Structure 1
């Protein structure tokens, strides 16, 4: 258990730009996704799903996302559009985590959304446990209607994260962690 606690205490996210090949193997990816799906799930609704985007099959997706960005930002410069291309083409692997909200009297929407968020967090932890870096991003594409169509999302689905995964290039920046006395109250 000490190793698990140490992993959780030292978990950090490298910049997506610092993630390089190799990506996880198919066996490692399946293990990560199995762990990602092992989250609190009131009502056993499985209010999440995963879309896997390996680097070698992502070129068409990147161009469609760039076109969506251009359509939504007609005054964007070529540099800004290229930045959006890089955002989706740089990491060796991206897993899109989708939340599927199903109206349910006993399971509020927020619990379903939080379950999908927990799947994102478990995916980050699993990647780090297997020796990879991972970063959870959203950005405009997570909320863009045309991108929602591009990812094949139903009306009751939304993207909750693009999880970028790969090997870490260089040192990971260690940000200051919160002072517990500033965020914990006892009543």
Structure 2
């Protein structure tokens, strides 16, 4: 294979733009279709496609924020109004959020862990797809990915779990790069 210099350089400099710095315009319907198509091009042992998407766009973003606020208020009555108000903005200001759900289930040949990894790869590929189309992307989970009531309200079915909420929009700033791990310090060679 030939070295793909542009792709290599992109991967070496890939950077998350966090949700507070993502704004309109977001992807069009055609761009969203392309994003999801690219996201699905991941290793998938057994061709199970053990994932699915939930789209949060338009006024749904405010509605979901109110539902998260209501759930948080019931779960944590000791929180101040200021602390609870944060929940209303969980899917703002980014114009689009894609929930990536793992549908991993028992299978005679493919371990659930491999299925879960496939869903995680979908989430990361979605971030790459957003960057390729000129958008910024921010992969988060937060408490509502792990809370059964909140996850169900957000669209998870019995036995499913969110692996990511990928916020997508037009970057409003370029964030400074952060320190990255030293791969040499994380590498060993097996010698038998």
Same fold, TM-score > 0.5, yes or no: yes
Higher relative helix content? 1
- Shorter chain as denominator, the TM-score bin is over 0.9
Q: TM-score, normalised by structure 2?
A: 0.93
- 2:164 matches 1:161: yes
Match of 2:176 in 1: 173
- 2:31 matches 1:23: no
Instruction: Supply the distance in 2 between the matched residues of 1:25 and 1:152 (Cα, whole angstroms).
Output: 22
Match of 2:129 in 1: 126
The answer to whether the 8 A contact 1:55-1:91 is kept is: no
Structure 2 spans left out of the alignment, 5+ residues = none
Aligned-residue CA RMSD (Å): 1.2
SS at match of 1:6: helix
Given candidates 136, 148, 152, the residue that maps to 2:155 is 152
Match of 1:7 in 2: 10
The answer to whether the 8 A contact 2:66-2:87 is kept is: no
Q: TM-score, normalised by structure 1?
A: 0.95
Instruction: Supply the distance in 1 between the matched residues of 2:59 and 2:66 (Cα, whole angstroms).
Output: 14
Structure 1 spans left out of the alignment, 5+ residues = none
Given candidates 54, 61, 67, the residue that maps to 1:64 is 67
| 1:85-114 Cα shifts (integer Å, max 9, x gaps) | 112222111000000022112111100100
The answer to whether the 8 A contact 1:98-1:160 is kept is: yes
Q: Give the drift of 1:59.
A: 2.0
Instruction: Supply the distance in 2 between the matched residues of 1:162 and 1:6 (Cα, whole angstroms).
Output: 26
- 2:124 matches 1:97: no
SS at match of 1:96: strand
Moved over 6 A (4+): none
Give the total of aligned pairs. 187
Q: Give the drift of 1:128.
A: 0.7
Q: Give the drift of 1:152.
A: 3.1
